[in-house]
């Protein structure tokens, strides 16, 4: 049977769009995939020159670059450069839109794409607030269209292996959890207009980096067979204000899974995270540690508890599950979108709306309790 072939439209020509587009063009066989094929039919930008530049850069891949395969195998055939996002939504040769604009624009872009009848994969954070997300889910349901948050980490080889450990039960009942995405990004060296520093674009550590400790909260605790709490709540939070641009320099929030455990989640633009313990699940029999970076972890360890409190795990083991060579790691989520569409699904079981809603709800609580001007801002739902 020939592979299921999906035609992508890409919205915005920023940095992650470029990585994503390249991954669409990598030979799926490099990651052991034979049932899916990706094509890029249109690229939309606020400027047609930028869309054309983006396409030119894709087309001119050098022989050593992984995505050269797609260029040589017709995966860009007929691609259009569009000077507006709307032209891409309206393109009959596009099946699905990848949205990678700044967070403050996601709701409007996704809504426009859905209302034009297109399926959507939208970058994290899904939206600015939960009300926006609920509106998008309602439209997707109403129009029977696929919608997913692009949390690429969930589809990486390591995530599947971690799930096997969690589901095996060998770690026992969780007792405590922590997860972190922190980087020494040196914000003072960046212009105030950078999207990470501009509150009007949804800047700050919470919305940009918060999705990653949240990935691990979902994979290690929410989906843990011991968990019964479908609505884990934030007990308290703290944000540090970055005076120069009024975004949060860091955020910390404590989540309670009823009758199970608590978890501390951290994001930070001014300090490094720990190399071998970016996410930590401590359980009755032993601990699981996922290594840095939390967005693209390739190694995890299982380690015994201290001697005095020893559980059944007695030896440290380290497990390495790399991203396939030549891929940036974004191809896996694209394959999931294609498989869902092929199978007539409007929601991914691996990245369900319910889990995006939990995380978006946490962000709302932390943001509203924080000192930044975003605390009092409402999203664009209903507008
Ligand atoms: N999955 C990941 O690993 C990952 C990594 C980085 C970022 N992200 C997420 O992806 C999204 C985009 O991030 P990025 O790093 O690619 O950002 P970026 O490089 O700043 O690109 C954003 C693009 O959005 C478009 N845009 C539309 N309205 C804009 C406005 N008012 N101001 C600035 N740009 C505007 C621009 O494209 P045009 O000029 O072509 O319209 C711009 O190039 C964010 O939600 C971010 O959190 C995900």
Where among 119, 151, 183 does a domain terminate? 151
Count of domains observed in the chain: 2
| Residue where the block lists tokens 């709307």 | 86
**343 part of a folded domain:** no
Structure tokens at 83: 């000077």
Domain containing residue 236: 157-322+357-376
Give the CATH number of the domain where residue 221 resides.
3.30.360.10
In this structure, are 230 and 268 located in the same domain? yes
Report the mean per-residue pLDDT for the chain: 97
Longest dimension (CA), the chain: 66
Ligand 1 within 6 A of 127 CB? no
Where among 151, 173, 201 does a domain terminate? 151
Per-residue pLDDT of 233-252, as tens digits, reads 999 999 999 999 999 999 99
Task: Say how far apart CA 76 and CA 264 lie, in whole Å.
Answer: 44
Per-residue pLDDT of 290-326, as tens digits, reads 999 999 999 999 999 999 999 999 999 999 999 999 9
Per-residue pLDDT of 114-131, as tens digits, reads 999 999 999 999 999 999
Helix (H, G, I), strand (E, B) or coil at 145: coil
Task: Say how far apart CA 117 and CA 291 lie, in whole Å.
Answer: 40
Helices and strands in the chain: count of H runs, count of E runs = 11, 14
Atom 43 in ligand 1: residue holding the nearest Cα? 14
**Pairing verdict, β 4-11 and 36-44:** parallel
Ligand 1 within 6 A of 14 CB? yes
Distances (CA, A) of 58 to 17, 70, 94, 163, 299: 11, 9, 18, 35, 31
Where among 98, 118, 151 does a domain terminate? 151
**Closest ligand 1 atom, CA of 13?**
40
CA of 221 to the centre of ligand 1 (A): 30
In this structure, are 117 and 189 located in the same domain? no
In this structure, are 193 and 82 located in the same domain? no
User: Does residue 364 contact residue 130 with C-beta atoms inside 8 Å?
Assistant: yes
In this structure, are 246 and 292 located in the same domain? yes
pLDDT value of position 1: 86
**334 part of a folded domain:** no
Give the CATH number of the domain where residue 141 resides.
3.40.50.720
In this structure, are 284 and 166 located in the same domain? yes
What single-letter DSSP state applies at residue 349? S
Ligand 1 within 6 A of 15 CB? yes
Task: Say how far apart CA 96 and CA 13 lie, in whole Å.
Answer: 16
**308 part of a folded domain:** yes
Pocket test for ligand 1, best of 100, 156, 380 (most atoms within 8 A of CB): 100
CA of 16 to the centre of ligand 1 (A): 7
Ligand 1 within 6 A of 124 CB? yes
Q: Which residues of the chain have pLDDT under 50?
A: none
Atom 28 in ligand 1: residue holding the nearest Cα? 101
Task: Say how far apart CA 90 and CA 254 lie, in whole Å.
Answer: 43
CA of 168 to the centre of ligand 1 (A): 39
């Amino acid at each position: 049977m020939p592979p299921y072939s999906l035609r992508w439209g890409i919205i915005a020509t920023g940095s992650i769009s470029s990585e994503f587009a390249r991954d669409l063009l990598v030979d799926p066989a490099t990651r052991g995939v034979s049932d899916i094929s990706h094509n890029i039919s249109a690229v939309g930008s606020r400027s047609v020159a930028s869309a054309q530049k983006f396409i030119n850069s894709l087309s001119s891949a050098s022989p050593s670059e992984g995505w050269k395969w797609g260029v040589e195998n017709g995966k860009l055939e007929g691609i259009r450069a569009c000077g507006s996002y709307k032209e891409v939504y309206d393109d009959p040769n596009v099946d699905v839109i990848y949205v990678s604009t700044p967070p403050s624009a996601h709701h409007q872009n996704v809504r426009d794409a859905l209302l034009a009848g297109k399926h959507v994969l939208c970058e994290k954070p899904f939206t600015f607030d939960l009300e926006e997300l609920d509106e998008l889910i309602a439209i997707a349901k109403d129009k029977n269209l696929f919608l997913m948050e692009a949390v690429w980490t969930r589809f990486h080889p390591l995530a599947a292996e971690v799930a096997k450990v969690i589901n095996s039960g060998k770690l026992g009942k969780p007792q405590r959890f922590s997860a972190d995405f922190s980087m020494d990004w040196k914000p003072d060296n960046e212009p105030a207009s950078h999207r990470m520093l501009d509150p009007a674009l949804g800047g700050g550590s919470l919305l940009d980096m918060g999705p990653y400790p949240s990935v691990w909260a979902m994979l290690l605790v929410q989906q843990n067979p011991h968990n019964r709490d479908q609505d884990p709540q934030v007990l308290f939070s703290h944000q540090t204000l970055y005076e120069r641009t009024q975004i949060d320099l860091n955020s910390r929030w404590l989540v309670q899974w009823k009758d199970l455990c608590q978890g501390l989640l951290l994001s930070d633009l001014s300090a490094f995270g720990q190399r071998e313990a970016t996410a930590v699940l401590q359980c009755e029999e032993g601990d699981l540690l996922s290594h840095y970076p939390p967005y693209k972890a390739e190694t995890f360890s299982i380690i015994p508890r201290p001697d005095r409190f020893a559980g059944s795990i007695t030896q440290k083991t380290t497990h390495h599950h790399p991203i396939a060579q030549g891929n940036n790691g974004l191809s896996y989520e694209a394959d999931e979108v294609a498989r869902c569409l092929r199978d007539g699904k409007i929601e991914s079981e691996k990245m369900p709306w319910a889990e995006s809603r939990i995380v978006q709800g946490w962000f709302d609580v932390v943001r509203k309790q924080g000192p930044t001007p975003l605390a009092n801002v409402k999203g664009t739902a209903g507008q």
